[in-house]
Structure 1
């Protein structure tokens, strides 16, 4: 099996006060078992146990003043071990100097893009951004537009209620690739929730510069739920097609409720066999410019 993990974190507790300090409410629930270092050897063991052969690290909420240090450390790991294969960093995109930070990060060849989490929800435990409409900020928009010159993508993490604003952003910068995190963050199967999610997903899928990650479907159920995964996979592939969809994990968060082989098996069962090559390797290789194996 030649599987690409398009989303993972390697954590150092000392660099993330929210892990080493008092418990802070998080979108994925209590996290005492993962309040520890999760370093590259453990990640490689987890990844290879599930058949994963390449990976993309996505920023893990280091303090923003350490954004360059984060990618420097990851580039060193890449040079030492070959993992991660590529990196998505972070910068304060609401700051006028964000482009300078990203240019400094771009000196490390492993970097492919940036993420600043924008998700906001009526449930305070599900929030990250300070307001639901931060995508309208003019400084933020200028910084996202600057990704075109860097040749970088933007990891888009929003809830369905924010997808209209997200679509406006995507439309405004058609030459920047957006990767929608966690298949649009469906929180439950309630009729109203699903209707809003479907409407937002259909609109975002109408833009060719948006791809989607099949990740994180235990974030709100807090368990491995093959039926929920199958529902999300079927609906999402119907909008985006396999050529714009990719599997990924959210390890080590998902270690709270599953092991990686079980997670991979659930997604492989949910994705039709003819789509496996694209969803489990080809899309991520193209979007993140990963080397052929």
Structure 2
């Protein structure tokens, strides 16, 4: 890696970059984001002990982060806890889009308590212009019939699934995805390695290979790795990013900052520098264009 940190990223002369993984949240809305309350242990988010991510992250915060970059499109990813309140966040995001011009699109929360709850939530989302799909993570029962209804409904409506899967759940996730070959799905956070995978990444490496080969040909996000790696060292990131790219290819990989969660470990610009330099060394400017723009435009649609 170069010793000097460039002031803008990535290389390749892109007119704009797409950040596919940002969480806008209002810390004052503890009804929507109870995990931001000062008394809550943030360990479930994977951030370092004592790290403070309890502040609001809004349009002005994001604008300050991206002003030294070519980031011109942003995808908001749901970070609420209560699926019954999904419409309140949707309304908040649409106001934000109207006032500030971003996020260009967003991924919402889904209620998996029953097949009917899934159908109702998805129907309600369709009235919002910025809606592109839903997020599912921390699945404990992959046999839940609501998951299959969700996949079938997303395929029928042309919407997408952001899926959070830890390495320990990859085999069950692959079985689920294999049942829905027409589903447009992206695996979040490079297969979401945990801190226990850092010292022995073999399980994570196998999970990435499994997920990349399943029937829907999933996409993947190069995002969220700071939560596990907890460093800004570029050489530490390299083997993780390269393995993801080797498994999925640049046509199915896209960049996401995972801000403000990853801000507990790394600043916005250095994170982009690290990722773009590794991608450029792996596949040149063509790979950079795909990972930082083209794949996201193909997957999420017009931004």
Q: So what's the TM-score if we normalise by structure 2?
A: 0.86
1:209 Cα offset (Å): 3.3
Residue 56 of structure 2 is aligned to residue 44 of structure 1: no
1:33 Cα offset (Å): 2.6
Give the SS at the match of 1:136. coil
Ranges of 4+ aligned residues in structure 1 off by more than 4 Å: none
Q: Name stretches of at least 5 consecutive residues in structure 1 with no aligned partner.
A: 119-128
Q: In 1, are the aligned partners of 2:198 and 2:228 still within 8 Å (CA)?
A: no
In structure 1, the residue matched to 2:267 is 259
Residue 157 of structure 2 is aligned to residue 150 of structure 1: yes
Q: Deviations over 1:41-66 (max 9, x none)?
A: 11122123332110100001242221
Q: In 2, are the aligned partners of 1:213 and 1:247 still within 8 Å (CA)?
A: yes
Residue 40 of structure 2 is aligned to residue 20 of structure 1: no
Residue 116 of structure 2 is aligned to residue 109 of structure 1: no
Q: Distance in 1 between matches of 2:230 and 2:154?
A: 34
1:29 Cα offset (Å): 3.0
In structure 2, the residue matched to 1:5 is 19
Q: So what's the TM-score if we normalise by structure 1?
A: 0.89
Q: Deviations over 1:36-90 (max 9, x none)?
A: 2211111122123332110100001242221011112111211222100110001
Give the SS at the match of 1:284. helix
Give the SS at the match of 2:137. coil
Q: Deviations over 1:109-143 (max 9, x none)?
A: 2111101212xxxxxxxxxx5x3xx2221222222
Q: Distance in 1 between matches of 2:104 and 2:233?
A: 29
Residue 118 of structure 2 is aligned to residue 98 of structure 1: yes
Q: Deviations over 1:16-40 (max 9, x none)?
A: 1221251223322346532122111
Change (3 A) 1:209 1:75: farther
- How many residues are aligned here? 276
Q: Distance in 2 between matches of 1:209 and 1:68?
A: 30
Structure having greater relative contact order (Cα 8 Å, sep ≥ 6): 2
Q: Distance in 1 between matches of 2:66 and 2:164?
A: 23
What is the root-mean-square deviation in Å for CA atoms of aligned residues? 1.7
Q: Distance in 1 between matches of 2:157 and 2:68?
A: 35
Give the SS at the match of 2:39. coil
Give the SS at the match of 2:189. helix
Q: Distance in 1 between matches of 2:189 and 2:235?
A: 16
Give the SS at the match of 1:218. helix
Residue 261 of structure 2 is aligned to residue 247 of structure 1: no
- Bigger drift between 61-70 and 78-87 goes to 61-70
- Please point out which of 74, 86, 102 is paired with 1:55: 74
- Please point out which of 199, 209, 212 is paired with 1:190: 199
Q: Distance in 2 between matches of 1:62 and 1:200?
A: 26
Q: Distance in 2 between matches of 1:32 and 1:246?
A: 27
Q: Distance in 2 between matches of 1:100 and 1:226?
A: 45
Give the SS at the match of 2:52. helix
